[in-house]
Amino acid sequence: MSWLFVVGIVVFFFGLLASIALHELGHLSFAKLFGVRVPQYMVGFGPTMWSRHTGETEYGVKWIPLGGYIRMIGMLPPRRGDAEGTLRGSSTGPFQSLIESARGASLEEVGPGDEDRVFYRKKWWQKVIIMFAGPLMNLVLAFVFISIVVMGIGVSAYQPVISAVSKCAIPAAQAGRDCTASDPVTPAVQAGLRPGDRIESYDGHKVKSYTSLQELIRASGGRTVPVVVRRSGQDLALSVQVTTNEMQSLTDPDKTEKVGFLGITPTSARERQGPGTVVSAMTDLTTRTVGSLINMPKKMVGVWNAAFSDKKRDPNGPIGVVGASRIGGEIAASDEPGLDKFAFFLMMLGTVNFAIGMFNLVPLLPLDGGHILGALWEGLKRGIARLAHRPDPGHVDVAKALPLTYAMAAVIITMGALLIYADLVNPVRLNG
């Protein structure tokens, strides 16, 4: 294990901790803005490692660095019939909240003069903002990190410039093996294509990107195609007899298809992109993240199988803090240039922050989305009551969802423990 590997793990791990701290800072900032008293802001769970009181809030770090929380007084309203002032304390942390949310807990935290400083008495839209501010912080961080990479550093993109020419045609199912005497020579070798050649046109079409070239090659199997390449500053016209080969599908990596085959490897180079590419990347990330959340039960079955058998871990499946930090170590210890490592770090932090933000928006307690849903339901009920000239229905009692909350918390804890175990015994690796 190299020292760079350890440094990468530590740096990425603390990057995640900083993201968690900023998530809770989002909650804290708007809670204080709207006058909610916040006795505690903590990064981590368990026993306190370090803390300091500033004003009415204790800021600190705990020993188990797997999350964070702030504790706001009066997150749950009193039951109907309870005397005014019978208030309960709770927190935004998905695990800590279960301990503190039961009625009858933390009465001593609500003192004289705190009646208007409890969470449950705030306007419904203020509650939404307070609870949404945490996930929003993660989403903003994701946007910033991805924007830095896409517009500042640039993203790796294949160019229609040949970096290598394959000697023989090998089916996708046998990829990685050496050529044998029975393997056919590739069309690129037969046509005399060389590394460094830039393909200017293919089959009469001007080539603007490698993506367009790849589509043209795949559609030209079994034909003789005119190709113009630029070599040493001069254009050279060639004729290529394109064959067909079993290749990996461009739309579904798990499938193969018989398509036109040339036998070239493109050159990769970094290119700075515009804001449109950032928007496109964020849109794609949103689609993939939502899909992952919907398929989470199925994905976790795969994690279980990989953890307790010799099955390969799905590189596109869920990954925990330990696994993500380990990948950070692999990035740091790789032979890639320093700028590529930095860009990979930022993209990973951006992706993880986006996943954290979206997961917390799932509308189930004890996640932030559950509190947001409760506040929206309260606003809807009160709005309908006003329009119908009915009495104010009062605050929505999210405490009624405690049975579901406990069940959901048990699922989250189990998933977290399983991911940590799988990340230790069968981790996701960059190189498979």
* Residue numbers annotated as active site: 24
Strand order in the sheet with 40-54: 40-54, 57-76, 88-91
* Residues 222, 260 contacting (CB under 8 angstroms): yes
* Residues 264, 162 contacting (CB under 8 angstroms): yes
Distance CA 221, CA 383 (A): 64
Distance CA 22, CA 353 (A): 10
CB within 8 A of 53, min separation 6: which ones?
59
Q: 334: buried, middle or exposed (CB in 10 Å: 19+, 13-18, 0-12)?
A: middle
Q: 296: buried, middle or exposed (CB in 10 Å: 19+, 13-18, 0-12)?
A: middle
- The residue among 216, 213, 341, 224 whose CA lies nearest residue 267 is 213
* Residues 209, 284 contacting (CB under 8 angstroms): no
Q: Which two tokens stand for residue 416?
A: 């977290």
Q: Which two tokens stand for residue 348?
A: 């990973």
* Residues 200, 208 contacting (CB under 8 angstroms): no
Q: 264: buried, middle or exposed (CB in 10 Å: 19+, 13-18, 0-12)?
A: buried
Q: Which two tokens stand for residue 423?
A: 């990340």
Cα distances (angstroms) measured from residue 268 to each of 21, 163, 265, 431: 37, 8, 9, 18
* Residues 74, 118 contacting (CB under 8 angstroms): yes
> What's the distance, Cα to Cα, between the start and end of the chain in Å?
18
Query: In which element (H, E) is residue 301 found?
Result: helix 296-307
Q: How many helices (H) and strands (E) does the chain have?
A: 11, 11
